Amino acid sequence: MREEGSELEMEKGFLKWKPVNLMKKILSLPMKKTKNDIGLRLDISYILVNLIVCSYPVNTYPKLLYRNSLDDLILFLTVYHGKGNFRIFNFRGEKEDSDYKDNDLIGIAAKFESKDFEIQELRSTLINDGKIPISPIDLETRTLVEEETNNVICERIGWLDHFPPPFELLEEIVDGIENYLSVSKNRVAVLHCRMGKADLV
């Protein structure tokens, strides 16, 4: 009989060596990928503890070979920040058939809902190992927030690529992020535009 810890290690190793992750590594060598304890390769950066920028997440091939996977991004956010504690702010103004849709987000949330026990176990392990810094009081609050806002939300406020946003739109974006984050110290805002994160930093 295997110990629980070894099963977790095996699962982490499997996530790390998926063929898609190997292809992403080859195709995006110049990009800096954020390391994490669950084996996901994501192009994300923390600006603040509650403010993240990332490259545009996708859910179709061939872009999945070199872009952030929308599934992986949501899994990462769910494990590290808790279900319902994040909002994705999509600044892409252009529309394409390959863009992720609201239904895609709902489908991913439903898929992870069916694996909620495993995700919470992984989350608890990372908290207990000190890999997610959180105090017992915060953990109680976080659980309460998760129960109250059990959904993935994406807010679309876009403008054309390579152009600055109109000042009124910029004010609306800053106010929207501030209002979202002010509800709870456990929330995080995830920002992305059309191509990457460099122009957001």
* Residue among 58, 114, 54 nearest 83 (CA): 114
Cα angle 33-82-42, degrees, rounded to a multiple of 5: 10
User: Of 40, 193, 194, 197, which residue is the catalytic one?
Assistant: 193
What's the rounded Cα separation, in Å, for the pair 115 and 73?
A: 16
- Structural Rg of the chain based on CA atoms: 17
In the sheet with 153-159, reading across from the earlier edge strand, the strands are 44-48, 51-54, 188-192, 86-92, 153-159
What's the rounded Cα separation, in Å, for the pair 144 and 101?
A: 28
Residues 6+ apart with CB under 8 A from 50: 181, 185, 187, 188, 189
Tokens coding 182 = 């002010």
**Is 193 annotated as catalytic?**
yes
Residues 6+ apart with CB under 8 A from 90: 154, 155, 156, 157, 158, 192
- Residues with a catalytic annotation lie at 193
